[in-house]
Structure 1
Amino acid sequence: METGIVQQPNQGDEVARVRAFNRFYTARLGVLEQRLMDSPFSLTEARILYELAHRDAPTAKEIGAELKLDPGYLSRIIQGFADDGLVKRSPSPADRRQHLLTLTAKGRAAYAKLERSSQNEVTAMLAGLPPAERARLTAAMSTIQGLIGAGSAPPPILRSPRPGDIGWVVQSHGAFYAAEYGFDASFEALVAEIAGQFLASHDPGRERCWIAEYDGVQAGSLFLVRDSDDVAKLRLLLVTPQARGHQLGRRLIDEAIGFARLCGYRKVTLWTQSILTAARRIYQDAGFQRVAAEPHRSFGQDLIGETWELSL
């Protein structure tokens, strides 16, 4: 006979299961090793690099509060980064006792390499699972993060395109540029042509598309395509208004530059418009230089097209 009494889980068993999962997952990802993924960085150092790459000139105090690190320990790590030329420090206008921290070009390159290694390692881990099982795994991870994080949204991620993403890129570019800059349908047609060519004939070894995802939805895009054996071209950079403030544009550009270096390109080029001030600032911060500017009439507007280049 059923009694209707539901047996409550034993708290000791729950704690044991959580600890067992922690041991399994940390060992599976290799974070117990002295150096993370054969890099020169420990897990803590890599996590600090992540914060520096995804924050707009934070102070050491801000990073320490986020990661709950001892100030003295954090200070020694930051000093080591500065000695190695990875970090630049400048006095904070708000508090002269604090310094604003930014990654140098060398620091961004080091982080990009670490990010690629991490992505490749996780990609390899997931490769043995069929698509349905991968979906179950990532959904379970989101559930864990949502429950323990009190419902907070997961951080933005960069991933490869899935079915439907390229259509989203075309639609989002058309809608955004029409609303923000008054571009007509000819711009959306151009985006569709670029995206269609990529789908039909891109070389996975030398060309790539990244989709940014935030809170489970598409939040941005960037394509890197071959222009010649030595030159790669960036195309279709976009970050949605809802996802701004997370350094997604910078992350997309850094990821593309790192990939271009791995492919052996010697230069990355792009074409943009002078009115796109936010994008131009990202290009400039990443080391691109404007090499040409020319007025033109396109997309129903009088514009000044600009060519920017980065030597690798």
Structure 2
Amino acid sequence: MTVQDVRAFNRFYTNLIGALDYSRHLYAPYTLTESRVVYELAHSPRTDAADLRAALSLDAGYLSRILNRFERDGLVERAPSGDDPRRTRVTLTARGREVAGVLDERSTEAVGSLLSTVPAAERTRLAEAMRTVREIFSDGRRPDRDDVVLREPVPGDLGWIVQRNAALYAAEFGWNAEYEGLVARIVADYAEDHDPRTERVWIAELHGRPVGCVMCVRDDAPATARLRLLLVDPEARGLGIGDRLVTAVVGFARDAGYRHLVLWTNDVLSAARRVYRRHGFTLVAEKPHHSFGKDLVGQDWRLDLAATRE
């Protein structure tokens, strides 16, 4: 391979990506950089201005001007960070979350339109080629949170959720096939009958492979959503994926009009419980039970979405 090969590929790829943004439809009325800031605020648990600068490699003055515009447009609110008053915490308002949703929807539609031109038989080869490029240029570095993408499920992902939950919890906690059956029923119920306006699944993808998931579904209680099947694969832990998945559920549930978000977990899942607590969930009940071949303590957690609305 020569320098000219790389430059030729770069020109081709730049033109390809540029074609997606026809007439600036994707980002209007915002620039690409402004849209990246909105995306980061919508998907990252770290929303201090300093974190935004580092994640996006932006000049402090440039970022400040962007945030000033967003504040005038009613997209963000700024306040001293609870962890360090010297830092500025930036959060999206309800209007900001709406804009983030529109931008994300446009991007998904544009990429989906591009992929529709690729024959189904070639898509696996394309994904492998993209993964190869990323891995070679990563030069063995550990993945970071920018390498992770949250997306909607594609055919095969729901089966992966069942398989990975069963295998992971068997390996880490010794749970038996009873748990696999529970997950299979949850996933099957969603696949057979769900309302995309009020229920959703997210897949966390790293280098073209699923490494995490979560679901938001209607609960039996009025105006209540239920978070289910939060999972992060061991190879991807430490990248903030659990936080991003829960952030996605909370934002979606709030925007869908739910007033409460609930979940059931077990006390042995300590890492997940820390994530729930960081997002404002409170433990409301717990009860010993024997399930999945083990003696466990089940816990019910709850988040009042109205009380935590920005």
In the alignment, the residues of structure 2 paired with residue 260 and residue 111 of structure 1 have an alpha-carbon distance, to the nearest angstrom, of 15
- Which of 229, 239, 251 aligns to 2:232? It is 239
- Which of 92, 99, 109 aligns to 2:87? It is 99
In the alignment, the residues of structure 2 paired with residue 165 and residue 214 of structure 1 have an alpha-carbon distance, to the nearest angstrom, of 14
SS at match of 1:218: strand
| Unpaired segments ≥5 residues, structure 1 | 1-7
In the alignment, the residues of structure 2 paired with residue 24 and residue 167 of structure 1 have an alpha-carbon distance, to the nearest angstrom, of 32
Query: How do 1:266-281 residues align onto structure 2 when only pairs under 5 Å count?
Result: 267-281=260-274
CA contact 2:253–2:261 (8 Å) conserved in 1: yes
CA contact 2:153–2:202 (8 Å) conserved in 1: yes
Give the structure 2 partner of residue 173 of structure 1.
165
In the alignment, the residues of structure 1 paired with residue 100 and residue 275 of structure 2 have an alpha-carbon distance, to the nearest angstrom, of 17
Q: Which shows bigger deviation, 186-195 or 45-54?
A: 45-54
Q: Which shows bigger deviation, 294-303 or 140-149?
A: 140-149
CA 1:288/1:215 → structure 2, altered by over 3 Å: closer, same or farther?
Answer: same
1:294 equivalent in alignment to 2:282:
no
Query: How do 1:1-312 residues align onto structure 2 when only pairs under 5 Å count?
Result: 11=4, 15=7, 18-19=10-11, 21-30=13-22, 33=24, 36-38=26-28, 41-53=30-42, 55=44, 57=46, 60-81=49-70, 84=74, 85-90=76-81, 99=87, 101-103=89-91, 106=94, 110-146=99-135, 150=139, 155-181=147-173, 183-199=175-191, 201-203=192-194, 205-206=196-197, 207-227=199-219, 230-260=223-253, 267-286=260-279, 288-290=281-283, 292-299=284-291, 300-311=294-305
Query: How far is the alpha carbon of 1:293 from its aligned partner?
Result: 0.8
Query: How far is the alpha carbon of 1:303 from its aligned partner?
Result: 0.7
Two-structure CA RMSD over aligned residues (Å): 3.9
What is the aligned-residue identity percentage? 38
Q: Which has the larger radius of gyration?
A: 1
Query: How far is the alpha carbon of 1:87 from its aligned partner?
Result: 4.3
Q: TM-score when scaled to structure 2? A: 0.73
Letter in 2 for 1:249: G
CA 1:90/1:311 → structure 2, altered by over 3 Å: closer, same or farther?
Answer: closer
Of the two structures, which has the highest relative contact order with CA contacts closer than 8 Å and spacing of 6 or more? 2
Q: TM-score when scaled to structure 1? A: 0.72
Give the structure 2 partner of residue 5 of structure 1.
none
CA contact 1:173–1:191 (8 Å) conserved in 2: yes
In the alignment, the residues of structure 2 paired with residue 293 and residue 193 of structure 1 have an alpha-carbon distance, to the nearest angstrom, of 24
Letter in 2 for 1:280: R
SS at match of 1:246: coil
CA 1:303/1:242 → structure 2, altered by over 3 Å: closer, same or farther?
Answer: same
Letter in 1 for 2:194: D
